[in-house]
Amino acid sequence: MFAIRRATTAEEFEIARQLFREYRRAISQFGPDICFQSFDRELDVLPEMYGHPRGALFLATRSTDGETVGCVGLRALEPGVCEMKRLYVRESARGHGLGRHLVDALLAEARKLGYNRMRLDTLEPMTAARALYASLGFREIPPYNEHPVNGTSFLELTL
């Protein structure tokens, strides 16, 4: 069993920083250091980038031991459009639908904040994530920003 909560405290944002660093290491297996040109700056400004009123950051905690095992972020892109970032579930917690629960919480929050579209980018080798996004109704769109890696897909969901 897992509990999902919105990060609001300095301690929770520090846990998110640790998970973001793990995420970066985990996806490095797919090639060059993708889309992390300003990663260190992102870590420095997590509460501003993913904080209320225009963003959100959710953490998932395993009920049995209290370990935080997953995260996902939401940030504003343009009026009415937000972006999902850094969906990550630790390997020890995979296979329980936790990624879907995190995304469901994020989608509900995006609607609550008044967004009408959510975008994201993902890599071809990330098959589990791509299957999740397809099952939720995300559709391919043209690139909405410059991306340094071939094989990146850009997706959007009408909320």
Averaged pLDDT for residues 19-46:
76
Instruction: Enumerate residues 6+ apart whose C-beta is below 8 A from 77.
Output: 83, 119, 144
Report the chain's C-alpha Rg in angstroms: 15
Closest to 51 (Cα-Cα) out of 109, 121, 115, 114: 109
d(CA 102, CA 113): 17
d(CA 22, CA 106): 20
Tell me the pLDDT tens digit for each residue of 52-77: 899 999 999 999 999 999 999 999 99
Residue 89 banded pLDDT, cuts 50, 70, 90: very high
Distance of CA 146 to the CA centre of its chain: 18
* 8 Å CB contact between 81 and 16: no
Tell me the pLDDT tens digit for each residue of 95-147: 999 999 999 999 999 999 999 999 999 988 889 999 999 999 999 999 988 76
Starting from the edge strand earliest in sequence, which strands make up the sheet with 68-78, in order? 2-6, 56-62, 68-78, 81-89, 117-123, 152-158, 139-141
- The 10 Å CB-count burial string (b at 16+, else e) for 134-159 is eeeebeeeeebeeeeeeeebbbbbeb
**For position 31, what pLDDT does the model report?**
64
Write down all domains in the chain, each with its CATH number in brackets. Answer: 2-116 (3.40.630.30)
Give this prediction's pTM: 0.91
Kindly report whether the peptide bond that precedes residue 53 is cis, defined as omega within 30 degrees of 0: yes
